[in-house]
Amino acid sequence: MNWNWDHVDEFMPLFWDGVELTLKALFFGTLIAFSLGLVWAVAQRSEKKWIRWPVTVVTEFIRNTPLLVQLFFLFYVVPEWGPSMSPLTTGIVGLGLHYSTYTSEVYRAGIEGVPAGQWEAATALSLSKRRTWTSVILPQAVRRVIPALGNYVIVMLKESPQMAAIGALDMLGQAQNYSQTTFTFEAISVVGVAFIVIAYPASLLLRVLERRLVR
Amino acid sequence: MSSEFFGNWFLPGIWITVQVTFLSAALAFVIAFPIGVLRTSRLWIVRFLAGAYFEIFRSTSSLVFMFWIAFTVPPLFNISFQPMFAGVLALGITYGAYASEIVRGALAAVPPAQREAGIALNFTPMQRLRRIELPQAWPEMIPPFNNLLIELLKGTSLVSLIAVADMTFAGDLLRLVKNESAPIYTLLLALYFVFAFILTRGMRLLERHAKKRVGQTPEKTSLFGGLRAKSSIDVVSGTGGAK
């Protein structure tokens, strides 16, 4: 074994750049995943077949194909038809889109968990469809699914290194670059530890949150 | 896409994806059972160690772990191995941790009276596990295993990043050579989807079979019903955990 702390010191500034990019991607990716997921979930409960079917097919397709290939698709194929995006933007869109199909499943469970009596009560009060969703169903559904949504923030954190493959230099990307130019291995180990240091306390926090909210 | 490239890169790539999927699934499976059983142990130190294994791999990115095995372990310990070995090892160990949580959850769901019945019959702990607890827990494990297998299949695309020539790698290479991306990546996405679909269908059959054997009624399924994660909150994320 020949571990060298000098390499760790040298890598640190790059590491923080990577952390910044990871957090940016995580924040905006989460925003997309959480909001788009809700749209998918509500659309899948639509009474109109022409809304329900395409949404189901699209979400199933996204869910059952790898994020990495989707990132390649967004980065190399989409610019042929439309706008070209920076690696970071592509990463954010990719992460958000991919995990929106997972969060939609979470929302679905939350919506189905709202007692049928609540729907009936809304009908009895002759609330409009929009009112039923926004004032009765969703407030009850969303509260219950917050811990489960939180899990996906951690999952997205763990999957974000894939952005490095399209050139968005997150923690892993920086480590990879550093290691390849200096032929050392300390940087990747640092990043590995960093993930444990961030993700494990986060999951403990979620467990506390879960106990508080789901009662 | 010329047939030459297809034959030289894409078909072998598909075969490598299949190999990586099944090898790492097998490794995950082999790891999951002992770890899952140990996590129900009465000795706290055993429970703690098995739990630590789960927590560590749940909290790290499988890609970072894969890079670590592929690029850090060889120079650190002066050994060398094929990138595919590193990929399978990383995926197997990571998904083994998730799968152990499924095993633990399913074992915990077996009614305690069943264990007590085994004790009353003077079964050894091993006999109880093999003849009473596992046969009952098994049908419960299949649907979450199914979800995990899909995750694993998609996870295999990561091995392309440590230079294993799987189908994603072949696609990426083709893009560079042909300078054309739309048909390649569309085909890739379709391939992964078809594989996921076939795996899900296969696991559904297995589930029906297992449920019939223990006398439970198998559920009816629709075409897309099988693809929808049943307990995606717990399983796909690997961060929730079955009760």
Given CB atoms, is B219 within the 8 Å cutoff of chain A?
A: no
Question: What is the ipTM score, two decimals?
Answer: 0.82
CA B222 to each of CA A113, B91, B204, B228: distance values in angstroms, whole numbers, following the listed order:
22, 31, 11, 10
Question: With 60 as the cut, is the pLDDT of residue A120 above it?
Answer: yes
Quick one: tokens of B224? 């897309």
Other Cβ atoms less than 10 A from the Cβ of A68: the count is 28
Percentage of chain B beyond pLDDT 90 is 40
Cβ–Cβ gap A105/B61 under 8 Å: no
Whether residue B239 and residue A206 make contact (CB cut-off 8 A), yes or no, is yes
- Residue numbers in A near B174 (CB within 8 A): none
DSSP letters of A151-186?
HHHHHHHHHGGGGGGGT---HHHHHHHHHHHHT--H
Alpha helix positions (H), B39-129: 44-59, 62-67, 73-77, 83-108, 112-120, 125-128
- Range with the lowest mean pLDDT among A60-74, B74-88, B199-213? B199-213
Distance CA B90, CA B67 (A): 9
- Mean residue pLDDT of chain A comes to 87
Residues of B in contact with A154 (CB under 8 A): 59, 237, 239
What is the pLDDT confidence band of residue B218, given thresholds at 50, 70 and 90?
low
How far apart are the CA of A80 and the nearest CA of chain B, in angstroms? Answer: 8
Would you call A68 and B237 a contact, using CB atoms and an 8 Å cutoff?
Answer: no
Give the pLDDT band (50/70/90) at residue B143: confident
Domain ranges of chain A: 26-170
In this structure, which topology does domain A26-170 adopt according to CATH? MetI-like fold (1.10.3720)
pLDDT band at B238 (very low <50, low <70, confident <90, very high): very low
Task: Find the mean pLDDT for residues A199-209.
Answer: 83
The mean per-residue pLDDT over the stretch B120-136 comes to 90
pLDDT digits (tens, 9 = 90+) for A176-193: 888 777 777 788 888 888
Whole-structure pTM value: 0.83
pLDDT tens, B17-42? 999 999 999 999 999 999 999 988 88
CA distance B242 to chain A (A): 12
Within 8 A of A64 by CB-CB distance, chain B residues are 150, 154, 192-193, 196-197, 227
For residue A85, the 8-state DSSP code is -
Return the number of CB contacts < 8 Å for A and B.
151
Does B192 contact chain A (CB < 8 Å)?
yes
Residue B1's pLDDT band (cuts 50, 70, 90): low
